[in-house]
Amino acid sequence: MFRFARPRRSGGAHAPYEPRDLLRAYERHATREVRASSGELLIVIPLGDDGVLEITVVDPSADWIESRIRGLCASLAEIDRRAQRILRGEFRIGWIEIDSAQHGLIDYWAIGVNSEYAIDISWTGDAWVESPAAR
């Protein structure tokens, strides 16, 4: 397995969604498959902590998939930092669904209990951000 870089500012704490590392993992190690049951595209990106990031794209034939996944790799760290302030570090991303070129959903799962928290995300043309209505 490959290793993710450790950010200097955090004293070496592991940061699984840092843009450069996540993009590298996507480019070099991600798997893709179209689910026979739903027809959705499942992209699995391995993370440096032996976990994975699962991204489902509702329309596997869409011509915008590559740009939106790359944008997600660049944006996810900031979205997650904001979410973790609210969730107090007690939740972890369970999966991400991109249902159109402009909209997606990040589903957080509680660590150790049966609870979840969803965040709507929107494409700005350059990056994914938490949807204004969700803030």
pLDDT along the chain (135 residues), means of 10: 41 68 96 97 91 96 97 96 90 95 96 88 94 66
pLDDT at 13: 47
Q: Look at residue 88 and give its three-state secondary structure.
A: coil
pLDDT at 114: 80
What pTM, to 2 d.p., does this model score?
0.84
Ranges assigned E (strand) in the chain: 31-34, 41-46, 52-57, 91-98, 103-110, 116-123, 128-130
pLDDT at 59: 97
67's tokens: 């740009």
Pairing of β 52-57 and β 91-98: parallel
pLDDT at 112: 80
Bridge partner residues of 103 (DSSP): 122
Query: How far from the centroid of its chain's Cα atoms is residue 24's Cα?
Result: 14
